[in-house]
A and B are shown apart, each in its own frame.
Chain A
Amino acid sequence: MSGLAWQLGTVVAITPETPRAKTFTLRLPHWQQHRAGQHYTLRLTAPDGYQAQRSYSIASPPEQTGEVAFTVELIDEGEVSGYLFEGVQLGDQLEVRGPIGGYFAWDATPQAGPLLLVAGGSGIVPLMCMLRHRQRSGLRNPTVLLYSSRTPEEVIYQQELTAMAQADPSFSLQQTFTRQLPAGWAGYQRRLDEAMLGEVLGLLPAAPQCFICGPTGLVESAASTLAGPLGLPASAIHTERFGPSGT
């Protein structure tokens, strides 16, 4: 990982996902195949030499060769997300280094067993990479995504996730909303809790590999509930926390 060189990617697509999330697709001169769940470090340099670095999970599957996509949520007063939202246009260059990380990673191998994915907010990004990778590989291992959002408007990749679930009975999409519900919503309408996690776990035929990503509080409570009362072995639970990052 320390051996990875910085490279200048060119922005070839900017896709609005929600009012506060955009996907930036970069074409890389030295593309390297990643594992689903890994991330890149992005570095911004000001004309006066000031630099800021932040981590961004890879949204695009490893099958999408030559480019990587990052989905970035706009953070109030955010230094890097704010610049990406307001300052970056098609054709611009961004400096990145990656892929990084080996622990929060999943490979679509034929032996892959059941999968439980738990996301909060932009924590969906690395899990979406796993789902896209799984889909491209034609894998049908039993998979559940439990995705918590505050409002319907804030759900990233809603259409793609819905289509994926409709096309593939081995994939179950479970959503919960904590502040505002979609019209006619009959599903979960609260924060993740033991009952909810127990129910989604029950949709799987056997104990799954589990990937949890989102704000620190959600990740902590989901992981400790799954490992504690719900009895999953700690070694089967992988977590990634998206807190504000220092430099």
Chain B
Amino acid sequence: MQNSFFNRGFQRKRPAPTGHVLPPGQYETQDFPVLSAGPTPRIKPAQWSFGLTGLVQTPQQWNWQQFNHLPQQDFTVDIHCVTQWSKFGTVWRGVSLDTLLDAAQPTAEASHLMAHCYGGYTTNLPLTDLRDGKAFIGLLYDGQPLAPEHGGPARLVVPHLYFWKSAKWIQRLELLSEDAPGFWERAGYSMYGDPWKEQRYRDDDEDLAAQAP
């Protein structure tokens, strides 16, 4: 009954141009704006390596060649930058964080991560936000190797959080037993960055504390 039920004469009122919903305070952009805190580091693949360290049972270190031999997947995701642009349906190829974390086996105490990047940038994330297909290390964007200004050769992508959490020029993920602020977070940005709750700045985090189980 429910599958066949419809309301006579009802139709979508505002055809969403791309079929996506914007988080509050965001506007849609078709291009891919670049925002960085400093000059773009240019890392040659031969110099690049990526590691999982800290509270893991088996610390991991992959060079470019090894990393590219890990199973890769395609991801089509919407991304939302704290500077208020959103971009719908971006297409990536990369390695799921599930694959990487399974290899490293976080210890029972591991609850958070600090992402460390070439160039010194850092940002913090809860471990659960990288699990279950929610995050990946992106290698190709739109079928092309990731450009340096977008974090190439490889960047972290966590699409459900504001994009400053998707650290460019990723070098290492350090697993920690508690949360600690990264680069923008120390400058007053939200510790979590949920676009749907508009957690842009630390002041916006009050409801996080209220919601903590």
Contact = CB atoms under 8 A, between A and B. Distances in A.
A44 interface: yes
Contacts of B2: 6, 95
A43 to B, nearest CB: 9
B5 A45 contact: yes
A79 B13 contact: yes
Contacts, number: 47
A8 B7 CA distance: 11
Interface in B1-57: 1-2, 5-14, 21, 24
B8 to A, nearest CB: 7
Contacts of A184: none
A77 interface: yes
Contact of B6 (A47, A52, A78, A82): A47
Interface in A200-247: 246-247
9 contacts: A45-B6, A45-B7, A47-B8, A49-B6, A83-B10, A87-B7, A246-B21, A246-B24, A247-B21
Contact of B13 (A6, A77, A94): A77
A48 interface: yes
Contacts of B9: 83, 87
Contact of B10 (A8, A77, A78, A87): A87
Nearest to B2: A6
Q: Size band of the B side of the interface?
A: 10 to 19
A44 B10 contact: yes
Contacts of A83: 7, 9-10
A78 B9 CA distance: 15
B5 A95 contact: yes
Q: Size band of the A side of the interface?
A: 20 to 34
Of listed B8, B10, B11, B24, residue having the most chain A CB within 10 A:
B10
Interface of B: 1-2, 5-14, 21, 24
A8 B5 contact: yes
9 smallest beta-carbon distances between A and B, as pairs: A79-B13, A45-B6, A87-B9, A50-B12, A46-B11, A44-B10, A44-B7, A46-B10, A47-B6
A18 to B, nearest CB: 22
Given A46-B10, A49-B6, 15 more contacts: A45-B5, A45-B10, A46-B6, A46-B11, A47-B8, A47-B11, A50-B12, A79-B14, A82-B13, A83-B9, A87-B8, A87-B9, A92-B8, A94-B7, A246-B21
A6 B8 CA distance: 18
Contact of A8 (B1, B12, B14): B1
Nearest to B1: A8
Interface string A72-110: 000001110011000100001111000000000000000
A87 B6 CA distance: 13
Interface in A1-22: 6, 8
